[in-house]
């Protein structure tokens, strides 16, 4: 069995939906196939806007609803001949009318609870599945349209529900045991034991695909996006970045956390636990082999992979660093616990920590949007130590980035860190903080934003460049403007 998941950018309009059904039809010709779909690109945002407008604004969500309706009807007109359109428009209209009634209810009570918002957001995936299933029928298949809410059981944490894995897998096994053809399933949604609609949070459709694959013992889970695979570095900064043919689950999780936007680490867990390989594919270039993510036994061990000490380079922008230092911290138990407890109370996530062995300094790395709150929380918690000079005034440094060098082959390799810092030093990059876990799979450094391109190109040239390739051009003074996309594979 194959599980194929298509994200929003692969379902942007009628033309893209047609390309998706062509891929799904080809897959279904040879294997039992589950097709997991996101909403059409931008539709979830429109649904959230409609709910908020209904609760707060005079529009009542009507403008957003009209745009949702128009986009789906435009897709019908593109995909189907005129005589066939009414049969597809009818179920779409029923669902859109139901959505309109819910928005009207929100408008009447001037409130949209998390529970109601989850119900509203569920319509995007359900609408795209109606379109795709109808077009698969037009291609001569007989797809079964399954409601994910009948399969995925969750708690009632609306917005990011926790899955009951045992019950969910039992439902999936039972339902798929009798299925031999192609199944179309909306991603992102589940339901409570009482049948109340929930959503699975960020990257929810990837999570759905992983759950379906794990529950049905799939041979592979394919995540179809709009890039050819996972890249060794951001190609907007490193011109000679290349597609990684194979990476391990652990490497994928590290790369995902540090900037690669193909998969969220949590969404992979069901597949990882069952040892199911995940392949990243491009719906705009289905001939490309993509990147396969799996356990070591799924990796070919090619000569090219063997000689590379690192797999990829990733980075996180918009970073700040807070330094806590003072002689009064040395040998005093509980200082670190107080620091982390104060930040936890403010729900501030610490991305990276660095502490000198002298215990004189603790460096905390976090997102810049949380730096002001973090600084205030720490000044309050450590007020006595600050007033008595046992701790010096806290230092905050902004406009930083984290660069991470990631790879399974880094473990147990003497001299790798030396090569890394030699490359950075020769490029003139100043390192403010360093962190490395005992797994030796990741070395992370904090540098200034203005040295981003310089650092990535220097490290890529030192570890990943093709010896026969010409040298990369000199790094610009500042990073090129980003081109944000719904689904990107660059690390």
Tell me the pLDDT tens digit for each residue of 135-159: 999 999 999 999 999 999 999 999 9
H or E stretch at 135: helix 114-138
- In angstroms, rounded to a whole number, what is the distance separating the alpha carbons of residues 419 and 407? 15
Mean pLDDT of the chain: 88
Chain centroid, CA 442 distance in Å: 19
pLDDT at residue 262, rounded to an integer:
63
Residues 439-468 have a mean pLDDT of 88
Name the 3-class secondary structure at 288: coil
Q: What percent of the chain has pLDDT over 70?
A: 90
HSE of 5, CA atoms in CB hemisphere, 13 A:
29
How much is the average pLDDT of 436-453? 89
- Identify the pLDDT of residue 18: 97
Distances 212 to 73, 151, 252, 331, 486 between C-alpha atoms, Å: 30, 9, 20, 51, 23
Kindly state the greatest CA–CA separation across the chain: 82
Q: How do residues 219-239 score in pLDDT, each as one tens digit?
A: 999 999 988 999 999 888 999
- Reply yes or no on whether the pLDDT at 419 is more than 80: yes
């Amino acid at each position: 069995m194959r599980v194929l998941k298509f994200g929003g950018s692969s379902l942007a309009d009628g033309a893209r939906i047609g390309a998706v059904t062509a891929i799904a039809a080809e897959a279904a010709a040879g294997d039992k196939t589950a097709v997991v779909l996101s909403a059409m690109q931008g539709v979830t945002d429109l649904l959230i806007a409609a709910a908020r407008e209904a609760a707060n604004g005079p529009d009542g969500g009507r403008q957003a609803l009209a745009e949702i309706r128009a986009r789906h009807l435009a897709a019908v007109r593109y995909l189907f001949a005129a005589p066939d359109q009414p049969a597809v428009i009818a179920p779409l209209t029923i669902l859109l009318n139901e959505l309109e009634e819910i928005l009207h209810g929100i408008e009447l009570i001037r409130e949209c609870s998390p529970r109601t918002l989850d119900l509203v957001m569920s319509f995007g995936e359900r609408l795209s599945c109606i379109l795709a299933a109808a077009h698969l029928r037009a291609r001569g298949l007989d797809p079964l349209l399954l409601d994910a809410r009948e399969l995925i059981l969750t708690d009632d944490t609306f917005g990011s529900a926790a899955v009951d894995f045992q019950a969910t897998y039992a439902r999936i096994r039972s339902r798929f045991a009798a299925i031999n053809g192609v199944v179309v399933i909306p991603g992102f949604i589940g339901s409570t034991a009482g049948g109340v609609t929930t959503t699975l949070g960020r990257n929810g459709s990837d999570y759905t695909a992983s759950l379906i694959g794990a529950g049905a013992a799939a041979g592979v889970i394919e995540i179809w996006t709009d890039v050819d695979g996972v890249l060794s570095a951001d190609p907007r900064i490193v011109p000679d970045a290349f597609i990684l043919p194979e990476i391990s689950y652990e490497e994928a999780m590290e790369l995902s956390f540090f900037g690669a936007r193909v998969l969220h680490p949590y969404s992979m867990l069901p597949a990882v636990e069952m040892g199911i390989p995940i392949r990243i594919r491009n719906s705009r270039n289905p001939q490309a082999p993509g990147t396969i993510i799996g356990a070591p036994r799924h990796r070919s061990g090619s000569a090219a992979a063997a000689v590379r000490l690192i797999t990829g380079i990733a980075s996180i922008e918009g970073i700040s660093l807070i330094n806590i230092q003072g002689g009064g911290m040395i040998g005093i138990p509980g200082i670190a616990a107080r620091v982390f407890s104060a930040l936890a109370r403010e729900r501030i996530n610490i991305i990276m920590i660095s502490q000198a062995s002298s215990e004189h300094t603790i460096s905390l790395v976090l997102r810049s949007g949380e730096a002001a709150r973090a600084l205030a929380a720490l000044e309050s918690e450590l007020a006595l130590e600050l007033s008595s000079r046992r701790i010096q005034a806290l230092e905050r440094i902004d406009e930083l980035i984290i660069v991470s060098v990631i790879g399974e082959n880094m473990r147990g390799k003497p001299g790798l860190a030396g090569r890394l810092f030699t490359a950075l030093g020769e490029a003139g990059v100043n390192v403010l903080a360093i962190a490395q876990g005992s797994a030796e799979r990741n070395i992370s450094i904090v540098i200034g934003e203005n040295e981003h391109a310089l650092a990535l190109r220097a490290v890529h040239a030192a570890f990943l460049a093709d010896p026969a390739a010409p040298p990369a051009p000199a790094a610009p003074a500042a990073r090129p403007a980003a081109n944000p996309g719904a689904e990107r594979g660059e690390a």
